[in-house]
Amino acid sequence: MTVPVALNYKSFGQGPPLIILHGLFGMLDNWQTLARRLADDYTVYIVDQRNHGRSPHAEPHDYPALAEDLRHFMESHWIYRAHLLGHSMGGKTVMQFAFEYPDMVDHLVVADIAPAGYPRRHDFIFEALFAVPLDRIENRREAERILMGHIGVPAIVRFLLKNLARQPDGTFRWKFNLPVLYKYYDAIIGPVEGEPFEGPALFIKGGASDHITEAHLPQIEKLFPNSRLEVMEGVGHWLHAEHPDQFLRLVRGFLPKG
């Protein structure tokens, strides 16, 4: 049995609880602006999943463990039923949680991920991150130069650099647990499975993203029979960051307010 960890979080607002989980290499700060906007109608909790942000580093890093962390978080905060929203890896976490603890889920929102297994997409990112000599670089600019040399996409590099922190001795560290995420990468890109979740579910697809395809729809419909799919045309995988207003309209249109 996996031992759950106490997750770092921030909360905003008042009303029915809404818990938001980030994706791989992310952290709760990525969702802070949207959380504040949703706080008019909900008590919004943004959470660092294990091995990310300020949450504990622990093994294993698989979806049963991440779901147990979420259960522990909810029960520790006297939350016995909540709306859940997850993006990418966080989307798989909330799907796994819905399979295991359906009575604790009110409405489920999954952002640009299916319950399927995926090919390896992040090897070049892992290679770039491991290439940064954290004990020898003198500033963030050096890390940025190394990452750009491997990745070449400024938006991805900026996203990753949010996780670079300076330690008291002057050296740097990644906030995420890079060795463990690499060790469990096959589990992270693997499928989530369980008894179908009968509650209301919304899947939001980025129209320019291939994370949800026509081939995934039968599996989604089987595992989430009371689900619907919305497509944000022309938007990629980080749909909540690219078009936050449209994303929020879809979420607000799906979640009940009272």
DSSP 169-200: TS-EEESS-HHHHHHTHHHHSS----SPP-S-
Q: Are residues 114 and 218 in the same domain?
A: yes
Q: Is 88 annotated in the active site? A: yes
Q: Are residues 203 and 101 in the same domain?
A: yes
Q: Name the one residue in this structure whose structure tokens are 């989604």.
A: 220
Q: Are residues 129 and 230 in the same domain?
A: no
**Boundary of a domain, candidates 166, 183, 200:** 183
**Boundary of a domain, candidates 183, 201, 222:** 183
Q: Domain range spanning residue 24?
A: 9-118+191-254
Contacts of 142 (CB under 8 A, 6+ apart): none
Q: Are residues 172 and 132 in the same domain?
A: yes
Catalytic residue among 22, 55, 88, 227: 88
User: Which of 90, 64, 54, 72 is CA-nearest to residue 2?
Assistant: 64
* 129 lies in some domain: yes
Q: Is 237 annotated in the active site? A: yes
Structure tokens at 41: 């109608």
* 33 lies in some domain: yes
Give the total number of structural domains in the chain: 2
* 150 lies in some domain: yes
Residue 48's alpha-carbon distances to 55, 123, 219, in angstroms, are 6, 23, 28
Amino acid symbol at 172: F
Q: Are residues 237 and 114 in the same domain?
A: yes
Q: What is the pLDDT along the chain (258 residues), one digit of tens a residue?
A: 679 999 999 999 999 999 999 999 999 999 999 999 999 999 999 999 999 999 999 999 999 999 999 999 999 999 999 999 999 999 999 999 999 999 999 999 999 999 999 999 999 999 999 999 999 999 999 999 999 999 999 999 999 999 999 999 989 999 999 999 999 999 999 999 999 999 999 999 999 999 999 999 999 999 999 999 999 999 999 999 999 999 999 999 999 986
Catalytic residue among 52, 61, 87, 237: 237
Contacts of 240 (CB under 8 A, 6+ apart): 31, 34, 87, 111, 247
* 4 lies in some domain: no
Q: Are residues 169 and 41 in the same domain?
A: no
